Amino acid sequence: MAIYHFSVKAISRSDGRSVVACAAYRSGEKLVCNYYGKEQDYTRKTGVEHTQIYAPENTRTDLLNRQTLWNVVEKVENRKDSNLAREFEIAFPQELNAEQRKEMLNELCLELVKKHGVIVDAAIHAPHNSSGSDERNYHAHIMFTGRQIDLGTGNFAKKRNRDFNKENSSETVSWWREKFASIANKHLEQAGYAATLDHRSYADQENGLEATTHEGPKATQLRRLGVTTEIAFNNDAIKQRNAEKIKSEQLLKDLDQEILTTAKLIAKLEQKTTYKGIFSKEKTTIFDSFDQIIQNSHQMRSEKNLFDKLDDAISALDLNQKTNFAMNQFDFEIARAQADARAEAEREVTLKAEADARARAEVEREATLKAEADARARAEVEREATLKAEADARARAEAEREATLKAEAQAKAEAENLFKF
């Protein structure tokens, strides 16, 4: 099943990021960032399936080189809080193969160049199977510049592209979300698949599915290391519930199809029953004709004429027997199809009950985990309160002891002074 994923991110210097480092990671190359004076080497990175730079016509040739391109961007965007680039992160439909993914990426990136006049640097990544990622998670990072190319000079324009600023960003991103779904559906259809993507949120689709929470780079890195964070745990639970719901709905659709097929078979059966009545009348007529021939045989003028008519009657009887056999075979096929449909319906009901039971168990498990976490939190609060109370008691005892010692010392001093006089 095709899953929709399309997100837009900003690569900003105010976050301490280097656009050269981002490009090196996504392309799996070694690039030198002149702004920070640092080499970014990701040549050992695996899973980079394809990279390509797209640019408007008349773009300076040297800007088609990844090393040059992003260092020029670092130089042009010279403010300390500059947005160096933006990025589309997309997931490919799992149904597409490597060549079809490239074709889909080409269409999307060329549309991005055409609409905004920017330079695009795209990379297709294969899933990190060794770290537990979903083996269907083929995705692309599509970085693009914040400035258009001046078609007259081939250089970056003096003013930044404003399509993604605060005033226009929402409308622009909404347009691209829908456009991405349209392009993906086009390539799915060309590949012969009926599956489609829907760019709308689960809430807008009213499909009952739950949205996951963005995990971010830190949580993602921990997941790859085998460490399950709370947000990752919750997302996994949501994905499992969504998958079970989708599976249950698909089973219901399949069951509806089986019911429709059975209805068609029943219609054929009713039609066949009508034919059977006709054949029964023909059979009676044939036997009546046969009896009539035998009874009137003495009236036949020649033996040849009698046997010719007998042959005709026997041929008709043979045809009728074949027809009856075919109808009996059809009856058998109808009965078997109905039995299969009943068995499939019972299996679907069982599977749905099992899915519901698993969902309930998951809800109960999450409730138990939450209760245990709350209990641990309360116990920790109580422990800290106890430790504080004990510390306060010790402090008070120490203060009282010091006060007692001081009083005793003072009394002793006063007594010694009395004896001196």
Residues 86 and 187 in one domain: yes
Q: Are 35 and 159 in the same domain?
A: yes
Q: Which domain holds residue 270?
A: 249-378
The answer to whether residues 132 and 258 belong to one domain is: no
231 within some domain: no
Query: Element (H or E) spanning 11, and its range?
Result: strand 6-12
253 vs 247: CA distance, rounded Å:
10
Q: Are both 186 and 253 inside the same structural domain?
A: no
Closest C-alpha among 142, 151, 145, 147 to residue 124: 142
pLDDT at 178: 93
CB 101 within 8 A of CB 183: no
Residue 171 maps to which CATH number? 3.30.930.30
Please, what sign has the CA dihedral across residues 88, 92, 98, 102?
negative
Q: How far is CA 331 from CA 9, 109, 263, 318, 337, in A?
A: 63, 58, 15, 20, 10
pLDDT at position 2: 63
Whether 152 and 265 map to the same domain: the answer is no
Say how many residues make up the chain.
421
Q: What is the pLDDT of residues 363-397, one digit of tens each?
A: 788 777 877 777 777 777 788 888 888 888 888 88
| Cα Rg, the chain, nearest whole Å | 40
Whether 174 and 267 share a structural domain: no
Phi and psi torsions of 47, nearest 5°: 90, 5
pLDDT, one tens digit per residue, over 56-93 is: 999 999 999 999 999 999 999 999 899 999 999 999 99
Inside any domain, residue 276: yes
pLDDT classification of 137: cutoffs 50, 70, 90: confident
**pTM of the model as a whole:** 0.54
Q: Is residue 81 part of a domain?
A: yes
pLDDT for 403: 84
- Domain total in the chain: 2
| CA–CA distance, 396 with 402 (Å, rounded to integer) | 10
Q: Is residue 151 domain-resident?
A: yes
> pLDDT tier at 174 (50, 70, 90 boundaries)?
very high
Task: Identify whether residues 75 and 176 lie together within a single domain.
Answer: yes
Q: What is the pLDDT of residue 9?
A: 93
Inside any domain, residue 412: no
Same domain? 35 vs 113: yes
What proportion of the chain, given as a percentage, has pLDDT over 90? Answer: 39
Residue 333 counted as domain residue: yes
Q: Quick one: 343 exposed, middle or buried, by C-beta within 10 A (0-12, 13-18, 19+)?
A: exposed
Q: How does the average pLDDT of the chain come out, rounded?
A: 80
Per-residue pLDDT tens digits for 190-214: 999 987 787 565 565 565 666 677 6
Residues 254 and 158 in one domain: no
Does 271 lie in the same domain as 149? no
Asked if residue 283 and residue 134 are part of one domain, the reply reads no
The token pair that represents 215 in the structure block: 């995990």
In-domain check, residue 360: yes
Residue 363 falls inside a structural domain: yes
